[in-house]
Structure 1
């Protein structure tokens, strides 16, 4: 499967007490992302607080997301697990529920060797027929997979067919291209790198931005597709201050604050992550207004 364009990351809304998932709010926010011309939906990633959900909640959010999207675009389910066994359990459930792709990131307490990472993916891939997106984000996982390791897995493990890199290093993307002779589709997960990544040949932008910026990310992608660099730069710089802000202060906190500001009522992040402060909410509101008004 080849994905292109804007891959949107929904949050997982909680009710006021923070203890229960709000499935009605989840449906509303997913439909809003689809209305904003997103090309795929990726629940249960970093923004979706997948690591903070129980096994039962993970399954419920996955099932509800697949039902709401209803084949309108591909659904990519996020899997971030310390143990291979639990990652396999989620991969099997994702396939059973009807996901189109799984996005897998190994999470480390003990530092893993390249061989341990390779076997982690190899065993997950053997458990499912689903395509696998390798997700590299050392800031959250504690593991930094080299381009060489990722390309090796792409070339030797059948299901692995794409990579999302969130390091913010554009040279990584050049490496993916060079090492795979242009065969490995790569996706940008670093929001402030969106324009450079597209220009470097990224197949897509994995982003929370459509939650707060409507179809501006889609417009940026289209401008790049049209080879209209002047328009692409203008659209990118409108979004950049907000993109930097959400990365600096954390995705669940800022995106939920922004959605609440827009009237979506999605609750706050799950403890120990705290909600945005009054000052942060004011900054966010101003940045959203600036981007949308331009």
Structure 2
């Protein structure tokens, strides 16, 4: 399975404290209608850290069932507990996911060898493509390009990475060390276009929750060699990227979706509503961009 183009890191809508399955299914349909290339349930943007295991599994199963093969589903299944990651990975496999998004263990701060052994242990239990998610700003540890190249060579399931470092030096090293068949995917909405330029194949995006056609359009334009059009999309998306990170993700993007009438305005602690001044800024950016 080759993951490419724009994949949306789906929010998880809540209603009265529970998973809002009706809104979620409608969001999936809208994403597909807008031309998105894939979806990612239960990542950071999906508030996976606050979902129970049963909720996590239900969200993934709902996503796979509703998408019904129309686009790829890359299921979030990571944990800082290797045994827990294996459990979530097995359930996503059994649900029919096309691949797994596996974050590096957070809080534990493992060594590079510990990171390698974590993914090797999961690979012994689950035979699906792995996209390794590196986001040092949240995890406290950076998966180095040399370690990723070792994993790509030794662990067949490790077929790509979601890089959220915004470090173009690092992503260039990854492209060099891991080769052209390795899926280098942006995890940072601000630097998708530069990452594509050094060999990336797409993005797992927060912003595409609210502007799927624009993010997919940028990736498509670049793939077709229309750099000027891709650049136009890049600058069109920049205000939305700033808006979606006015406060900690996913509070801004869930607020934006609520303003668009697509989900209820509901969070799960410790996520809270935006400060009033940031909500006003968000509304203005969405209005100026024609989103609402």
Normalising by the residue count of structure 2, what TM-score does the alignment of the two structures yield? 0.95
Query: Which residue, out of 89, 94, 118, partners 1:120?
Result: 118
Distance 1:109 1:208 in 2: 23
C-alpha contact (below 8 Å) 1:133/1:160 kept by paired residues:
yes
> Matched residues in 2 for 1:235 and 1:225: separation?
13
- TM-superposed CA distance for 1:51, in Å, is 1.1
Checking the alignment, whether the CA contact within 8 Å between 2:186 and 2:204 is kept in structure 1 is: yes
Shift of residue 218 of structure 1? 1.4
- 1:7 aligns to what? 7
- How much has 1:163 moved relative to structure 2? 0.8
**Whole-angstrom CA distance in 2 between matches of 1:34 and 1:9:** 13
Aligned counterpart, 2:94 = 96
Deviations, residues 19-64 of structure 1 (Å, cap 9, x unaligned): 2111111111111111111111101011100111000100111111
SS at the partner of 2:77? Answer: strand
Q: Residue 186 of structure 1 aligns to a residue in which SS?
A: strand
* Rounded Cα–Cα distance in structure 2 between residues aligned with 1:47 and 1:194: 17
Root mean square deviation of aligned Cα: 1.4
Q: Which residue of structure 2 aligns with residue 152 of structure 1?
A: 150
1:49 aligns with 2:47: yes
Distance 1:228 1:182 in 2: 20
Structure 2 contact 246–252 (Cα < 8 Å) conserved: no
Aligned pair count reads 291
* Structure 1 runs, 4 residues or longer, greater than 4 Å off: none
- Structure 2 gaps of 5+ residues are none
CA–CA distance in 2 between the matches of 1:56 and 1:230?
A: 46
What does 1:194-213 correspond to in 2, within 5 Å?
194-213=192-211
Structure 1: which 5+ runs fail to align? none
Residue 248 of structure 1 and its aligned partner are, at CA, apart by 4.1
Report the Cα distance in structure 2 between the residues aligned to 1:214 and 1:59, rounded to whole angstroms.
25
Q: CA deviation at 1:268?
A: 2.1
> 2: distance between equivalents of 1:234 and 1:245?
18
| Contact 1:151 1:184 (C-alpha < 8 Å) held by counterparts | no
